[in-house]
Structure 1
């Protein structure tokens, strides 16, 4: 038996593979907000604000058109400042999950500072959305050794932060914390984010061909589906929710919907299934 066959997970109702679409609704949070420089840069602020203010609605329309669920990882500051837009996510039946308060780099924070961020975020999700999330995606793409012990204190049962497999896996046996790994290949920043400062190397393109980007995404799905794995995205409304780019998402979702035997699920559903089906010990 091939190794990939032996490692093939099983999914509900005999489905062949799993897709958990996920979006990071960062807004203008991040390094520039944390150091205060964003308040002197209106163009950069509005670039981020475009996500919750304008792009999110297009994303929700595509998901509704294709009847596909998704998970939105949201810094609590975004919820605090765009509560109506974030409530629309919940009203459309999607999942919302933790993503820091201002997109902090968790690996730079002490355990107490991490707890403060989580506690503040939990209060804001509850106050504005009436939700206590069970999921977390580290804003910085990394965390400290204490983080996986802190998350369960706030009701978190899964993370989507690491890169260690093509399947969910158990992070912490004591708490049962599950990891649903995403991959940089399915991060829209890698192909579509424009960076003008620093402009280096000078003269080279900053954005990939849309045709090539869509082809890359579809090939990633095709490989995951062939091997019966779980695929999670790192999409950002402010990057891929533009009028021209939304067609990429529409075609990508349509491509996946045309495949037979795909289980489309929220990340929380994937984590629950993985644990309940006795696959949680896979590493």
Structure 2
């Protein structure tokens, strides 16, 4: 069996030439999982009212805090919203859109693609699209997989439904084209180290981690400083039910304020970053996208 073609990457010296002479691009992204984050983990969570209430905290308290912070600094962000969240909390979708932010696709019930059938993966895409449209969101151009796992089936579905970019893979720390089976998709990469969940995520069954105060701000600001030296993009991932808690939110405020005061970042939602970098990146020849 022939080896799969390697995924091409941008040349090391590629200059993305960010708008207004900015030295780096920064995207704050929020996964608004709410109750879907637990229900997609196991159907038994439908009876676990305390766990569901923690997810609900993200839309009741977390999102409003985040929207106020972003508005204070004139920052537009990307919110990845599962279809179930859009159905259960349509007002949250309305608030995000009214504030001028992008809404991306994040499945429907936050099911991990690698743990469900091909038919269920298709249903996650289709039901999520229907729910977002019903809540008043434009057809999303961006996708982020639940728990950051893509399968060949989901990758093919993203191509079939014409998504403009994905934000689930980790093959580079710059925008690049992820490829599989002759298809390619613009990737705005993520990483666990730029996610709040590994620091603060916890539940009664599996435990979790509790990062030291200030760790999020310190490590993420270091990432930003390094991105400036390489003139690249940084994608931070946050969960409103996690970072929306005041002691954690305070660290996000410090980070946002530090980047704003530095004045050398282009803060932009992922859709804007995708539109900026797409003409600059070589498209894999096999896919022709």
Q: TM-score, normalised on structure 1?
A: 0.89
Distance 1:199 1:275, change over 3 A: closer
For residues 170-208 of structure 1, what are the alpha-carbon distances to aligned partners after superposition, in whole Å with 9 as ceiling and x for unaligned?
1249766210001111111122223443458xxxxx412
Matches within 5 A, 1:114-193: 114-172=121-179, 177-193=185-201
Question: Equivalents in 1 of 2:131, 2:113: separation in Å?
Answer: 19
SS at match of 1:125: helix
SS of the residue aligned with 2:33? Answer: coil
Q: Residues 100 and 19 (structure 1 numbering): CA distance in 2 closer, same or farther, change over 3 Å?
A: same
1:207 is aligned to 2:210:
yes
Matched residue SS, 1:270? helix
Aligned to 1:266: 269
Gaps of 5+ in 1: 201-205
Runs of 4+ deviating beyond 4 Å: 31-34, 172-176
Structure 1 residue 237 corresponds to structure 2 residue 245: no
The correspondence for 1:279, drawn from 265, 278, 281, is: 281
Comparing 14-23 with 158-167, greater Cα deviation is found at 14-23
Q: Using a 3 Å threshold, how does the CA distance of structure 1 residues 111 and 40 change in structure 2: closer, same or farther?
A: closer
Q: What is residue 253 of structure 1 aligned with on the other side?
A: 256
Aligned to 1:96: 103
2: CA distance between counterparts of 1:148 and 1:62? 34
Conserved 8 A contact 2:80-2:105: yes
Q: 2:106 & 2:25 partners in 1: Cα distance?
A: 23
Number of corresponding residues: 274
The Cα shift of 1:104 comes to 0.8
Q: Is the 8 A contact 1:4 1:227 kept in 2?
A: no
CA gap of 1:248–1:199, structure 2 versus 1, over 3 A, is closer
Q: How far off is 1:255 after superposition? A: 1.1
Match 1:6 to one of 5, 10, 13: 13
